[in-house]
Amino acid sequence: MNDWIRLEEGRYRVERAVLVASDNTLAMPIADPMIEIYNDRRGTRHLKGYATIANHLLVDLLDESDEIDLILDLTGTFKYRLPHPQIRSGKMFSPDAHSTVQFFPTAPWVQIPEKEFEVFFSSLKVL
C-alpha cells in the first residue's frame, strides 16, 4: 500500500485541510495540520499527520456521516483526498475543548487536480 507516497522523507506543513463527510457537502476545518513521511527499518514509506480540532465540530460532522475523508492542500499541485483516515486522540472531556489528533491512512490518497480542487473546496459547507 505504501508505494503511493511520492514525497521525500520529512515533515510537511499543510496549507489547508478539512475533514469532509462522504457526501462531499459538509466539512470541518482542522488547525495546524502537518504530515510526516518516514521510512521504517525495512525501507517502507509511511505517512502520519497531526492537527488540532474542535471537538464539538467533529461530533457534529459524525452526526451527519459515519464516513469521513481528509482533504489536504500542500500547495501547488499537491492536493489530496485521504479516504477514511484513522483518527486518534486522547480522551475528549469537554465539547468546547480543542484536541490534538493524529491521523493515519487506511488507503492510498488520491491526488485532486488543482482546478477541480478549488471548485470542490469552495462548494463545501464548512461548520
Quick one: DSSP state of residue 113? Answer: -
pLDDT one-digit tens code per residue, 94-116: 767 888 999 999 999 999 999 99
Which residue segment(s) compose the domain that 75 sits in? Answer: 2-126
Structurally, the chain folds into a number of domains equal to 1
Could you give the strand order of the β-sheet that contains 16-21, starting from the edge strand earlier in sequence? 110-111, 79-82, 68-73, 16-21, 26-29, 125-126
If pLDDT is split at 50, 70 and 90, which confidence band does 11 have?
Answer: very high
pTM: 0.90
φ and ψ of 18, to 5 deg? -145, 150
Burial status of residue 33 (CB atoms within 10 A of its CB: 0-12, 13-18, 19 or more): buried
What is residue 25's predicted lDDT score, i.e. its pLDDT? Answer: 87
Close Cβ partners of 4 (under 8 Å, ≥ 6 residues apart): 108, 109
